[in-house]
Amino acid sequence: MKTRILAALTCAAIPCGLPADQPSAPREYGICQALDNQITGANTHGQPLPLLKGDPAHPKQACSVPWASLSPDNHPLPVVGCFAGRLLQLPNDAACGHDTGRLWVDRRWVRTSADKLYTASGPTTCEELYINPSAATRDYRPDCKLQKPMPQPKSAASQSSPAATAHPSAAAAASTPSTEATQH
Amino acid sequence: MSMGGAVGSGNGTRGPSTARSRLLNGALHSLLLASVALFFLNFNIAGTATPSKRFSQDLVYAWFGDEAWLYPRATAAGPNAGNGQPKVVVVMLDERALDLRGVRWPAPMEFHAQLLSELEVLRPRGILVDFLLIDPAPHEGVCDLLSVAAQLREQAIPLYLAVTRRDDLAHMDAADCKDESGKALRVADVITVVSVERRADDSDFVSRTYPFEQRSEADVPGTGIASAAVRMYCDAFGPPKACVARLTANRPANAGFELAWSPRGDPFNQRWSGVSCIPTTSPMNAVLNQPALPRESRCPPVATLFASVLLNPDEDPLLDNDKLFGLVKGSFVMVGGNIRGSGDLVTTPLHTLLPGVYYHAVALQNLVAFDGHPKVRKEYRTPKLPYYCFDLLVLWLLAAIFLWRQHWVSPGKLGPFGLSDAARGWIAPFIARYPTHAWILTASVLLLLMAAYRKPQLIAVALIIVALVGVELRVAGHGEIRERMRGIALYFGAIGVSLAVIVLAVWIGYRWLRLPPGDWLGYFSFAAFGFFVAHTAILEFGRRIDELYRERLAGGGGRK
């Protein structure tokens, strides 16, 4: 009996349903893990928002529009898709004309309700200039190892399931969270 | 180093002469000496003198490149930092940035269009794309780029695109793109083409000069494709046509302006650079026989924003949009590439290799820092003779000071740093205790070791000086020491006056004649290191000619 109670308590404290090989806190795409994330406004110092269209893995420039044309009443817009922690999908497919599909915006240019949860503490400093001349033709992929860990969610949002992803590739990206940060 | 050559032995031996004629003679002799010095300063057989001149210029920038009097560039963060100057910011495109958008090198036009639309948000003063987008590309990509360019033009943000020839972008016009209203998007209407040609000195292949324009010898000055930095500066501070015409007028086709460099990296770069952006080079390094130029540094002198940071806030979460706007808004933005293996690297005087876009960025920094009047070498000036006359004038003054000092050192007496007869008389018997082969071989081996190992050189020289001074103090009489102290005081007095002349010459030459500092160490070496002494034989020869001339006059054999 005691054993069953202990097991039940453990299950309540730890998400038992999580597959063993799935990381409990997918770090790289933190903001994509946020539930009910909303875009609360533009972060462009009054400049138009550059919008993207198409496959978020290979996005294309769509147009630039002011925030007011996306949200005339300045109401928050729900994030209907999220890609790799960088691109957020808007519930709008008409701001840049027809045949664009739902538009994407770079996370840098907007404020979201989940921003505070994913505020990071320091730079990851992966940047460096490549200035070593090589007496050879390139035939390799560069490596880049992050020197500091990426920001961790501060709340239990890390344990929640990924937000609904509007695009298949977004879902794929969310399921392989460590790919981007380590492959190059 | 001996400055004790008694060159004035023949001075004033032709009987009494007036003060005026002595002054005239002195002026003429110093002019002769200065002319010889000028010749040797510019004597460049087989190009052997060029590297030392360039190196001495690099030393000046390495030691004083941070000083506002030498290079008043904007370094503080902010859109109009540094004496109200707009900043230049490099946006560096690397493979990480390409990966963020799922593309590989060479990046498609769509990628550039996207990046430009993101940069537009930051309201820069103008954007240079330092990529040669000259190959035919898919229609959609070309139209994306042209529409973003038109959008930028509407926002009064000029877009500059690198080309090698004027018709390089004809393929974009051939795409027949149209804007939303159906109006044709033409390259000439939305993009300014610029040259990204690079210059390097023949002597060491370092890029110290920046071309004004790209044109052939046959073309008229001002008709070529203006270089990126020149065009961007002139468009911003114009009037554009007059500005370009002023910079390119009367120049040879290979002309360029000298790039002032600072060894210090831009403070903004410290946030990503793994190395310190503050150099540790100082003139003392040269004195101590240490490397006098800064080593290879990965902290460039221009603020650098990696495109991957722009596209992915997680790359540098502390760089929020307020800081980003503070950096880019109102700044000149130059988008360049740092793709491994692409080979787009430029050899710079102070940072060894850097991605090629820094060449244009530093050139623009120079134009801004010097208010559109950059430093230009004498050989690129038309006419060039007045600038050499300026050099001659400076050397004339230095030579006059040198001869004045020589005049005050009594003929036949020791110079301030010469070894006295008494000291020689003490040292010679000391060495003579040993057989000739022993002391010569010992001296040779010691000199060989000093030549081979650099570190003991300074110690050995210091020990020799201390030993010789000790010997002199021991054997010389009070009168001789007093005489020598007088000579030393005269020497330093003359050096002080010479330095004052050099400072004045540097101020006039750099500030008003806009000459680069290539000759500064040359002046100094003539004044301080006894280079004049090496050429005083010409004065003896000149005086002998004077004597012959006067003898002819006295004998009634004047020139017919």
Phi/psi of residue B195, nearest 5 degrees: -85, 145
- Greatest mean pLDDT range, A110-124, B40-54, B479-493: B479-493
Show residues of chain B in contact with A119, CB under 8 Å.
317
Between B298, B318, B343, which is nearest A128 by CB?
B298
Lowest-confidence region among A154-163, B131-140, B219-228, B307-316: A154-163
Q: Per the CB < 8 Å rule, is A128 touching B316?
A: no
Q: Are B278 and B409 in contact (CB under 8 A)?
A: no
- Greatest mean pLDDT range, B123-132, B275-284, B472-481, B494-503: B123-132
* Helix count and strand count (H, E) for chain A: 4, 8
Between B102, B321, B340, which is nearest A130 by CB?
B340
Average pLDDT, chain A: 67
Cα B465 → chain centroid: 34
pLDDT, tens only, B196-216: 999 988 878 889 999 999 998
Phi/psi of residue A29, nearest 5 degrees: -110, 40
pLDDT, tens only, B215-258: 988 888 888 999 999 999 999 997 999 999 999 988 888 899 99
Give Cβ neighbours of residue B524 (< 8 Å, ≥ 6 apart): B499, B502
pLDDT at B530: 63
Identify the residue among A28, A33, A127 best suited for mutation to test binding to B, counting B beta carbons within 10 A and taking the highest. A127
Crossing angle of helices B139-154 and B109-121, rounded to 10°: 20
| Strand ranges inside B230-319, DSSP E | 256-258, 303-306
- Name the 3-class secondary structure at B211: strand
Using CA atoms, how far residue B286 sits from A76, B278, B295, B458, B500, in Å, is 63, 18, 14, 11, 23
pLDDT, tens only, B315-352: 888 888 999 999 999 999 999 998 887 778 888 888 77
Lowest-confidence region among B66-75, B404-413, B490-499: B404-413
pLDDT, tens only, A16-40: 434 333 333 334 457 888 888 899 9
pLDDT, tens only, B430-465: 888 889 999 999 999 988 988 888 777 888 888 988
Listed as own residue / partner, the contacts of B23-30 with beta carbons closer than 8 Å and 24 or more positions apart are B25/B546, B26/B400, B26/B403, B26/B404, B26/B407, B27/B400, B29/B403, B29/B539, B29/B542, B29/B543, B30/B396, B30/B399, B30/B400, B30/B402, B30/B403
Tokens found for residue B524: 């100094």
d(CA B190, CA B208): 32
pLDDT at position B10 over 90: no
Between A97, A137, A180, which is nearest B341 by CB?
A137
Average pLDDT, chain B: 84
Q: Per the CB < 8 Å rule, is A138 touching B151?
A: no
ipTM over 0.90: no
For residue B276, the distance in angstroms to the closest alpha carbon of chain A comes to 13
Q: Are B165 and B177 in contact (CB under 8 A)?
A: no
Using CA atoms, how far residue A57 sits from A41, A102, A180, B324, in Å, is 24, 14, 11, 25
B40 and A CB contact within 8 Å:
no
pLDDT at A180: 34
Cβ pairs A/B, distance under 8 A = 141
pLDDT at A129: 79
pLDDT at B523: 79
pLDDT at position A157 over 80: no
User: What is the value of pTM for the model shown?
Assistant: 0.80
- Name the 3-class secondary structure at B347: strand
The CA-CA-CA angle for residues B371, B377, B383, to 5°, reads 100
Identify the residue among A108, A112, A115, A121 best suited for mutation to test binding to B, counting B beta carbons within 10 A and taking the highest. A108
Identify the residue among B314, B329, B340, B347 best suited for mutation to test binding to A, counting A beta carbons within 10 A and taking the highest. B314
B239 and A CB contact within 8 Å:
no
pLDDT at B289: 61
For residue A109, the distance in angstroms to the closest alpha carbon of chain B comes to 8
Give Cβ neighbours of residue B98 (< 8 Å, ≥ 6 apart): B104, B105, B107, B111
